[in-house]
């Protein structure tokens, strides 16, 4: 898939306020500081589209970007940050799950996992919750350029093994690096395949 146009369509405080229509949606979410904004910018080949910050938790709303006038990329708030109040954290959690559970045009939620560290309980629990709620998702391992290949390979292997303790089949997985340009074509081709399938089924 070639990215020809990307337009910011707005930030929304709840699912019911999000754009209406028949465009497919692909959401991106992960633990704070997982490299979500860098991945999104890399994916759409725009270095400044999504806000990249040294402070985790900057995304507080449901941010919509229209790609190629045909589908929406949705940047969701991260999970796991501690520098906000419990009330605010609970409010964001409600907003995220309300979107994931109720958005009819959501085709896939891409869950971002930092492959430089060992499996984290918070990531495993979030993925488990998606399974229970029957939310379609794929896993994107990020920052594959930050550690030695053998470390990356071990962490990804360990994460898969942890998932297999409760999952019979694993979802689609991608390994990415915004620095080394790894995984971009694979991710875009996956999105393109889903869009084509949706169009055929319409």
For residue 193, the model assigns a pLDDT of 97
Burial category of 143 from C-beta neighbours within 10 Å (exposed 0-12, middle 13-18, buried 19 and up): buried
User: Using N-to-C axis directions, what is the helix angle for 184-201 and 36-43, rounded to 10°?
Assistant: 70
Q: 3 is written with which tokens?
A: 């990215």
For residue 52, the model assigns a pLDDT of 45
Query: Between 3.40.50.300, 3.40.50.2300, 3.20.20.60, 2.40.50.140, what CATH number should domain 6-201 receive?
Result: 3.40.50.300
* pTM for the whole structure: 0.93
For residue 15, the model assigns a pLDDT of 96
For residue 59, the model assigns a pLDDT of 65
Rounded Cα–Cα distance for residues 123 and 118 (Å): 11
For residue 57, the model assigns a pLDDT of 45
The residue among 133, 109, 129 whose CA lies nearest residue 121 is 129
Q: Which helix H or strand E contains 175, and what residues bound it?
A: strand 173-175
For residue 181, the model assigns a pLDDT of 86
| Tens of each residue's pLDDT in the chain, 202 residues | 889 999 999 999 999 999 999 999 999 999 988 989 889 999 988 755 665 444 444 568 999 999 999 999 999 998 876 567 788 888 899 999 999 999 999 999 999 999 999 999 999 999 999 999 999 999 999 999 999 999 999 999 999 999 999 999 999 999 999 888 899 999 999 999 999 999 999 7
Terminal CA-CA length for the chain: 21
**How do 6-12 and 62-67 pair as beta strands?**
antiparallel
What is the distance, to the nearest Å, from the Cα of residue 93 to the centroid of all Cα atoms in its chain? Answer: 15
Half-sphere exposure of 178 (CA within 13 A, CB side): 20
For residue 87, the model assigns a pLDDT of 85
The residue among 197, 178, 182, 185 whose CA lies nearest residue 71 is 197
């Amino acid at each position: 898939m070639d990215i020809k146009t990307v337009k910011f369509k707005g930030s929304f405080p709840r699912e019911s306020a999000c754009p209406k229509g028949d465009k497919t949606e692909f959401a991106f979410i992960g633990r704070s500081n997982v490299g979500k904004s860098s991945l999104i910018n890399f994916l759409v080949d725009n270095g400044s589209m999504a806000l990249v910050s040294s402070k985790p938790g900057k995304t507080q709303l449901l941010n919509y970007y229209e790609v190629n006038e045909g589908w929406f990329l949705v940047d969701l708030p991260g999970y796991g940050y501690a520098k906000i109040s419990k009330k605010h954290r609970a409010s964001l959690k409600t907003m995220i799950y309300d979107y994931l559970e109720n958005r009819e045009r959501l085709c896939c939620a891409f869950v971002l996992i930092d492959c430089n560290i060992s499996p984290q309980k918070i990531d495993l629990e979030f993925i488990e919750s998606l399974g229970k709620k029957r939310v379609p998702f794929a896993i994107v391992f990020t920052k594959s350029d930050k550690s030695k290949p053998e470390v990356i390979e071990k962490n990804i292997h360990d994460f898969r093994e942890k998932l297999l303790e409760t999952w019979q089949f694993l979802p689609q997985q991608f390994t990415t690096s915004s620095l080394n340009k790894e995984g971009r074509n694979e991710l875009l081709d996956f999105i393109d395949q889903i869009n084509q399938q949706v169009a055929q089924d319409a």
